[in-house]
Amino acid sequence: MSDSNIDSVLIENRKFEPSSEFASKARIQPADFAALHKKAEQDYTGFWAEQAHDLIDWQTLFNEILDDSNAPHFKWFADGKLNVSYNCLDRHLADKADKTAIIFEGEKGDIRKISYQQLTDEVSQFANALKAHGIEKGDRVVIYMPMTPEAVIAMQACARIGAIHSVVFGGFSAESLRDRINDAGAKMVITADGGTRGGKVVELKAATDKALDHDCPSIENVIVYQRTNHGANMQQGRDIWWHDAIAEQDTVCVPEWVESEHPLFLLYTSGSTGKPKGIQHSSAGYLLGAIATNLWVFDLQDDDVFWCTADVGWITGHTYVAYGPLAAGGTIVIYEGAPTVPDGGRFWKICQDHKVSIFYTAPTAIRALMKLGDELPNAYDLSSIRLLGTVGEPINPEAWMWYHKVIGKEKCPIVDTWWQTETGCNMIAPLPGVVATKPGSCTIALPGIDADVVDEDGNSITEPNKGGYLVIKKPFPAQLRTIWGDEQRYVDTYWPKFGGKYYLAGDSARKDADGYFWIMGRIDDVLNVSGHRLGTMEVESALVAHERVAEAAVVGYPHDVKGEAIFAYVVLRGVRPEGGIDEALTKELRNWVGEQIGPIAKPDQIRYADNLPKTRSGKIMRRLLRNIARGEEITSDTSTLENEDILLQLEGKA
């Protein structure tokens, strides 16, 4: 059976039209939406040129649009020049100098508000400090910071002088940090003495020291922001306190005008070989995608307060915290700590206190907060919220409905967004004033994005609800340019099929009768049960639709008869069964899945736990679940887990 013949077993019929109140004020109206799509269909490159002309301030306006002569190494607007930091800061000073750019709240309750003028001054001052310590255009700088405004300031400062930043998530281990430093050939690390998370200090400087104790020959300096003030070992001649570095620096720094294709940043993602992939993004193309999607998908208005809960260590934090909203002149919220400190109402209290109007988070966070009950969000005034969003993985329909009813009070559109580190920005998502939504579907591709579901031979699948490969058929400005230092891996990873014509997303998907996209899971997460290929997300959604289940993750393990059997890890609403076993509930859940999907999808084993193995960003580490289901020893790095102790429960040892 071909890899693309994936059976779709989840059918969702609920549909929600945009409210007339929201639609009447939306930035993109139905006529605008139709015009955007028509322009993109009739003149694809002209469409993107028009957007780039209108949304970006150029120092040298481009004449070239798309150069595809060396596909799949595409160039957009190659003869143009710009500066990304200028587009995020300076261009707003004429009319928004006093507008709040960043509202910051620390886990302990400390609050700072930073205006566009203040942010421009601080970015310029730090940019001058970088230059004073030898950082030049094209140098790589690793940023390993807590989620504070200084992380954004460091990113923007690099962009201002043409340095290429690589943000490493603060939850990553010293070994992961070292690997990324060495792969990038970084000249400097910017870190902090520590950060605060869950009431504990995250030892960022200590981890940096451990990484640099190994062989990191390219590092010349380490700049350390004093956040926790709990003491840090400073190495003479190498380490500089942030406050000392900026002490003598001017608050004016003329931007370095760079070519459109100049790399803005590297962001490392896990690779199947174990070696992280350094995803390289351009300056102009990436910025264009970030601005356009903030305006289109999030309907960002001048008085909005936008809170994307992602850490800047992930692409979501790049595009929807550090760059996109600021380039669009918006106000963002940054929160340093955990969502459950001091209790599970923290997110909702922040939304209430800072009058958040756009809230964008991950399905894993939604399910975790849903598990705590409705009383917590209902205790807060969430009336300021007008738009909700989800990111990171498909959201199961029941979590979508909870989000819609309890958080959105049935009045807020939900923008379920599909995109990747590699795509740089939203690709498939509803425009909230125009497109009707369905629980669990990311709906339709954005204007200028040619997404499709194809079979093994690259042919469009026209039969509704038949699964296949999700592909992007035309190059787009925000896509990755290459894998840093490994051109062949870039080609082999993203263009391996269909004669190299289509970008292969690595996800399986289907389109329903309305042409809406439904993501069925990663291609390598597909289950092959008795010759039927099932998407893991659909089995998980069926489990979570049961009233007792808050969250579920499904993996496959070898089976003598079926080829592969289904192993489900389940987090219940309420208390976990004694010893993680409840035979009556297991029978009930198996039958429930059989009723929802069919007998073929019944889990062979169900194990109960208080949580799933997640990184601090909320990503479920499914490879660990596969190890456990197959009885394999866990040998990979688990230091990025929010709670390593949960593995004992999942292994049935606690």
Q: Side-chain half-sphere of 153: how many Cα atoms within 13 Å?
A: 31
pLDDT tens-digit readout, 567-615:
999 999 888 887 777 899 999 999 998 887 777 788 999 999 998 988 7
Domain that holds residue 247: 114-256
The last residue of one of the domains, among 256, 276, 310, is: 256
| pLDDT bracket for residue 531 (50, 70, 90) | low
81 domain-assigned: no
User: Read out DSSP for 250-292?
Assistant: -S------EETTS--EEEEE--TTSSPEEEEE-SHHHHHHHHH
Compute the C-alpha angle 441/443/448, nearest 5°: 145
The domain total for the chain is 2
Q: Is 266 exposed, middle or buried (0-12, 13-18, 19+ CB in 10 A)?
A: buried
For residue 288, give every residue at least 6 positions away whose Cβ sits within 8 Å of its Cβ, in sequence order, or none.
48, 51, 52, 55, 56, 76, 477, 478
- Which of these, 489, 424, 444, 436, lies nearest to 292 by C-alpha position? 424
The last residue of one of the domains, among 256, 271, 298, is: 256
pLDDT tens-digit readout, 104-136:
999 999 999 999 999 999 999 999 999 999 999
pLDDT at position 558, please? 85
Mean of the per-residue pLDDT values for the chain? 92
Percent of the chain with pLDDT over 90: 76
- Which of these, 572, 589, 588, lies nearest to 649 by C-alpha position? 572
C-alpha distance across the termini of the chain, in Å: 40
The residues with which 105 forms a beta bridge, in sequence order, are 111, 335
98 domain-assigned: no
pLDDT tens-digit readout, 164-215:
999 998 888 888 899 899 999 999 999 999 999 989 999 999 999 999 997 8
373 domain-assigned: no
Distance CA 299, CA 358 (A): 9
82 domain-assigned: no
pLDDT tens-digit readout, 372-400:
999 999 999 999 999 999 998 888 888 89
402 domain-assigned: no
The last residue of one of the domains, among 222, 256, 290, is: 256
DSSP three-state, residue 409: coil
pLDDT at position 617, please? 65
- The CATH number assigned to the domain holding 213 equals 3.40.50.980
123 domain-assigned: yes
pLDDT at position 1, please? 29
607 domain-assigned: yes
Percent of the chain with pLDDT over 70: 95
Higher-confidence residue: 143 or 371?
Answer: 143
pLDDT tens-digit readout, 442-456:
999 999 999 999 999
pLDDT at position 404, please? 97
User: Residue 6 pLDDT > 60, yes or no?
Assistant: no
Name the token pair of 627. Answer: 């190890």
User: Residue 9 pLDDT > 60, yes or no?
Assistant: no
Q: Is 573 exposed, middle or buried (0-12, 13-18, 19+ CB in 10 A)?
A: middle
pLDDT at position 470, please? 97
pLDDT at position 339, please? 92
User: Residue 436 pLDDT > 70, yes or no?
Assistant: yes
- Which of these, 524, 535, 470, 521, lies nearest to 497 by C-alpha position? 470
pTM: 0.87
- Which of these, 4, 11, 7, lies nearest to 523 by C-alpha position? 4
pLDDT at position 274, please? 55
Kindly report the number of other CB atoms within 10 A of residue 653's CB atom. 8
pLDDT at position 270, please? 66
pLDDT tens-digit readout, 332-359:
999 999 999 999 999 999 999 999 999 9
Name the token pair of 370. Answer: 């849903």
pLDDT at position 576, please? 86
- The CATH number assigned to the domain holding 638 equals 3.30.300.30
90 domain-assigned: no
